Structure 1
Amino acid sequence: MTPRATSSGRVEDSTPTPSAEAAEPAAKAEQAPPAPPPFPHSVPRAAGYVAAGVLIGLTQALASGVIIGNLQFVAGEIGATQLHASLLVAAFYAPRASLSLFLIKLRTQFGLRPFAECSVAIFALASLIGLATQDLRSALLVQFLAGVASAPLTSLGFLYVLEGLAPKYKMNVGLCLVLTVMMSGTTLGRLIGPLLSDIGVDHAFAVLSLGLALICVALVMRFPLTSQPRVKVISWVDVVSYSMLAIGFGGIAVVSVSGVGYWWLEHDWLGWTLAASIGCLAIMVAIELNRDSPLLDLRWITSPPVLHFTGVLLLFRLILSEQSLGGAGLFQKMGLATSQVAPLYGLMLLSSVLGGAVCAFIIKPDREGPIHLFALVLIGMGAWMDSQSSILTRPEQMFLSQSLISFASGLFLPPALLAGLTSALKKGPNYLLSFIMIFLTTQSLGGLMGGALFNTVVSIRQKIHLGYLTDGLTITSPQVADLIGRGTAYMAVIEPDPSLRAAEALSQISQQIAVQAYVMAYDDVFAVIAGIAALMAAALTLHLIYMAVASARNKSSAPVAG
């Protein structure tokens, strides 16, 4: 085309120009974000990362689960009473309650690969030292080292599973897989405990821990994590502040584990430990509130939404103590061996895995409310069914109720973690550390405090029921005399002395009454937990209705385009 003259004398090019409609796709193409980089790992290598993460998480879970679930066996190995052996749990959780927080900064400053290699190596060394334990003192030292060494394994399990998954699977399959594995430690520990005790190997639990740790070392060396840039983030004020936090959380962990066994008001050291813990936490708060770059953003942590989130997680840990402590404690008081309860533990483990698998398919950022509501309903149903237990109840009668609670536990935690991570990242990367502290504290320290509250209420209610059952009963009462007569008749063949037969029969009657009082106490606590779950479900239902109504109003009041 040639230029042409206009009436005004200007010359115009008659060549047609592209229309706005034709230019718009090109502009959009130029502004479109670059395509995401391809997934860097082959399928076999990605599977190796996922397998490494699962094994690391399982090793960390069993490190605590074996001790908690088999305390009587561990006490026998070191020649300690079960009361004294409970200090092993305190020694394990005292450093672990807070150490994961500081390890995040260590990982950022010194690099991910050295962090991973050192972490599993230290855990393997702690497991090796565990083979040399001979008494309570050495066992306490080993458990303290194991608590220190297992703390980094929590984050390593997450990192390895997320490394092996494509981005679209990280926040659903990854979260659910790792959390399911880490929550199964106590149940799995109780399930394999009798098997380890029956093989006749000294320090069988330490041998298992060492074997798993060495496999983890090999996997970490074979599958290194993707390197991240190192940033100097640790200052001397961080060290001082964290030291106060560690002492405070560690003291609370010790008091929570030991308070029921030694009883809260009967030993002065419990009170002094708790007072020192509160004092250290107060110092940490004073330091953090006056820093420009705090280790923890306490103002954000104490904001209403975050306090609400923290309260929900703590209540969740409380109602889940029905399973972690309730069923196992009830059957232990009844005198059932761990091997007799093993089928129940196996079913609980299977239900928990199934719950995590279902959660991986349905989890989305906007679905945490309905998922939590369904989980609370299941927990309430299971706890209410357990509250009908009697002295004749056996593990088979709890198959359904405990399966419901295990399934609900696999459903509850991943959506809560996803919602918290999303909220923290919206505020900025600096808030991620504060959120991780909240999450880990509610799961470790909150679990110990929930267990302490559960066992305290059981102990108080057992004494009340025991008083009711024995009120008015004397040796000369017709009911007691009849029971003593039956008992002495049964023992006539093995005990010729009538007075000893009567004393033994009376002792057995006292034990049966005490067991009956414990069953009634556990039923009371199960009913309370069912009530708490029902109240939480009702409150969540009202909240969901309110949010739905508010969303509908916002949509109706929004201006219509065009």
Structure 2
Amino acid sequence: MNKARAATARPGEGAAPPPAQAQAPAQAPAPAAGAAAAAQAPAMARHRIAAYMATSMFIALTQGLAQGWTSAVLGQIAGQIGATTTQASWLVVAFMIPKTALPILLIKIRTQYGLRRFTEIGILAHVLVTILSLFSQDLRSAITVQVLAGITSAPLSTLAFLYMLEGLSPQMKMRLGLPLVLTFIMVGSPLARALAPLLMGDGDWQVLHLVSLGMALASLALVFLLPLNPMPRQNVIAPLDLVSFVLIAIGVGGLTAAFTQGPTYWWTEASWTGILMACAVAALAAAAAIELNRSAPLIDIRWLLTAPVLHLTGALLLFRLLLSEQAAGAPRMFQALGLSPDQMVPLFAAIVAASMLGGMACSLVIKPGRESQIHLAALLLIAAGAYLDSHSTIDTRPAQLIASQSLIAFAGALFLPPAMMAGLLQALSKGPNYILSFIIVFLTTQAIGGTLGSGIFTTFINTRQAYHLHALSDQLSQTSWTVQAAIGQRVQALAASIPDSAARRAQAVSQIAQEASQQAYVLAYNDAFLATFLGACGAIALLLLHWTRDHLAGSAAVKPVPPPASSS
């Protein structure tokens, strides 16, 4: 049977693999397969390993920037394509849905059609879509391009992993490869926010597409100059895999769209968000029913419901919820205060630098068995950063949050690699076929956790802002002498620019109302930052309780049993 498979393999791709190698994941390699390959092939030269690692970093940044440009300059894009900001927010959803869902099937696509073909077609498709993006001039065409961009960006994360781990020893794959590649994938979004205002200036947003095109073409050249070692091919895609994938994609996509747009259109005023979530849950339930009744499932649901995997899933999801403080917190607070994107460039530059430092620090300490200690350190940093942010005022500016946001960014880069390593080791202990199930857990918790966290965070902000604005409005009655004095000061300040007294008073009242709205937003964000701090403290308490339980269980297991008493 193996000989027949070898005969049908592409030239240069070798014979059929052992099962561990055939099921190596697209998003992270199987260490067992890497060890086998390392034992059979000569060690790669150091300069060549460095070239592959540099290629990985460049591909990761290419993918991350392509994803981050739209969020970074969404307001400017909306104006240039003739749409409102609310309408333009669908561009982010259009990109995220296919990018979140497609990696579920990429593992089997790579195994069935060959690594070389997968690599070349994946990067070439990204180049073509980037060229197509230069011609999108309205909302409909822009959404179409974003869907295609999300599809072609999904393989880039895979390629970043594969190039980073190419040639590294099994030990260095975990200790150096995982922290570096995850860090470079993570920094794409804040780096886009730091670079976009500098690149665009007052120009057209197509400048960003040109930058993406240049990076995509460079990535294409690197992929052809530094080919990955070929892997054997196997026919692993079954018809029911496609059915399950479609259902999972509908479920994940529906939840992504609902949680992203729910706070924008508001949950109680947009009934379609509830319908969308119901359809998404129904699709996921149907996929689970199919997978539970298959002898060779795409996802092993029963293994996912075991206690260790549920514990890891909960930790990943909770951490993504806490990290929403950085994605949906400080930047949006400054937007509410009227700051422009270029004023936040130093803040995002600091976040990028802190993330890089966090990744390097993680590579120095990561080791099987240290996951809990590293996670405790990350939670302490998040708690500290969120507590510092909770003291913001209407006069707070980005420079004053650099320290706190850097702590949170450092924690993010510190947390993910040990979590992914722990999951991979758990999957490998059950067998290589379980790696796909873990990768799906990891990707889903990161994607859904991010969108869920952003949706919850924004909903909380809007609710608390309305509460604080109502309380401030009661205090700012125009019959109050302090309000009258404030109006009088503003009327005098406007005398030189507005000659009409009634218009001056109306403008003064408008200014006070705007300041009250901004103050309400700051108070709401402080509440959200404090909630993040309390959530991190709760996670720390749970982690310490888990440690205590494991310590007591270990002490009971090694406690010596006294000899039986003598009958005499």
Q: Which amino acid aligns with 1:145?
A: L
Q: What's the counterpart of residue 263 of structure 2?
A: 260
In 2, the alpha carbon distance for the partners of 1:267 and 1:324 equals 24
Q: What's the counterpart of residue 509 of structure 1?
A: 512
Alignment of 1:72-471 (within 5 A): 72-198=75-201, 200-471=203-474
Q: What's the counterpart of residue 27 of structure 2?
A: none
Contact 2:262–2:270 under 8 Å retained in 1: no
Q: What's the counterpart of residue 8 of structure 1?
A: none
Cα deviation, residue 152, structure 1? 1.0
**What does the per-residue CA deviation read over 1:88-129, in whole Å, with 9 as the maximum and x for residues that have no partner?**
111011111111010111001000010011111111111111
Q: Which amino acid aligns with 1:423?
A: Q
Cα deviation, residue 415, structure 1? 0.3
Cα deviation, residue 527, structure 1? 0.5
The Cα RMSD (Å) is: 1.9
Contact 1:248–1:278 under 8 Å retained in 2: yes
In terms of mean alpha carbon deviation, does 327-336 or 412-421 score higher?
A: 327-336
**What does the per-residue CA deviation read over 1:117-155, in whole Å, with 9 as the maximum and x for residues that have no partner?**
111111111111110111111111111101111011111
Matched residue of 2:329: which SS?
helix
Aligned mate of 1:525, from 516, 524, 528: 528
In 1, the alpha carbon distance for the partners of 2:158 and 2:218 equals 18
**What does the per-residue CA deviation read over 1:207-249, in whole Å, with 9 as the maximum and x for residues that have no partner?**
1211111111111111111111111111111111111111111
Cα deviation, residue 251, structure 1? 1.1
Q: Which amino acid aligns with 1:66?
A: W
Instruction: Select the structure of larger CA radius of gyration.
Output: 1
Cα deviation, residue 358, structure 1? 0.7
How many residues of Structure 1 are paired with residues of Structure 2 in the alignment? 528
Contact 1:186–1:324 under 8 Å retained in 2: no
In 2, the alpha carbon distance for the partners of 1:65 and 1:161 equals 22
Matched residue of 1:90: which SS?
helix
Matched residue of 1:343: which SS?
helix
Cα deviation, residue 271, structure 1? 2.4
Q: Which amino acid aligns with 1:496?
A: P
In 2, the alpha carbon distance for the partners of 1:45 and 1:77 equals 44
Change (3 A) 1:484 1:446: same
Cα deviation, residue 265, structure 1? 1.7
Q: What's the counterpart of residue 16 of structure 1?
A: none
Cα deviation, residue 48, structure 1? 1.6
In 2, the alpha carbon distance for the partners of 1:86 and 1:199 equals 21
Unaligned runs of 5+ in 2: 1-35, 563-568
Matched residue of 1:468: which SS?
helix
Cα deviation, residue 304, structure 1? 2.2
Matched residue of 1:471: which SS?
helix
Contact 2:424–2:438 under 8 Å retained in 1: yes
TM-score where L is the length of structure 2 = 0.90
Contact 1:49–1:161 under 8 Å retained in 2: yes
Change (3 A) 1:359 1:505: same
Cα deviation, residue 201, structure 1? 4.7
Contact 1:462–1:521 under 8 Å retained in 2: yes
In 2, the alpha carbon distance for the partners of 1:221 and 1:520 equals 53
Cα deviation, residue 472, structure 1? 4.7
**What does the per-residue CA deviation read over 1:127-186, in whole Å, with 9 as the maximum and x for residues that have no partner?**
111101111111111111011110111111000000043333111110000010111122
Change (3 A) 1:35 1:286: closer
Q: Which amino acid aligns with 1:473?
A: L
**What does the per-residue CA deviation read over 1:178-202, in whole Å, with 9 as the maximum and x for residues that have no partner?**
0101111221011001112217355
Q: Which amino acid aligns with 1:104?
A: I
TM-score where L is the length of structure 1 = 0.91
Cα deviation, residue 556, structure 1? 4.1
In 2, the alpha carbon distance for the partners of 1:449 and 1:358 equals 29
**What does the per-residue CA deviation read over 1:428-465, in whole Å, with 9 as the maximum and x for residues that have no partner?**
11110000000001111210111000000000000001
In terms of mean alpha carbon deviation, does 404-413 or 540-549 score higher?
A: 540-549
In terms of mean alpha carbon deviation, does 523-532 or 42-51 score higher?
A: 42-51
Change (3 A) 1:261 1:201: closer
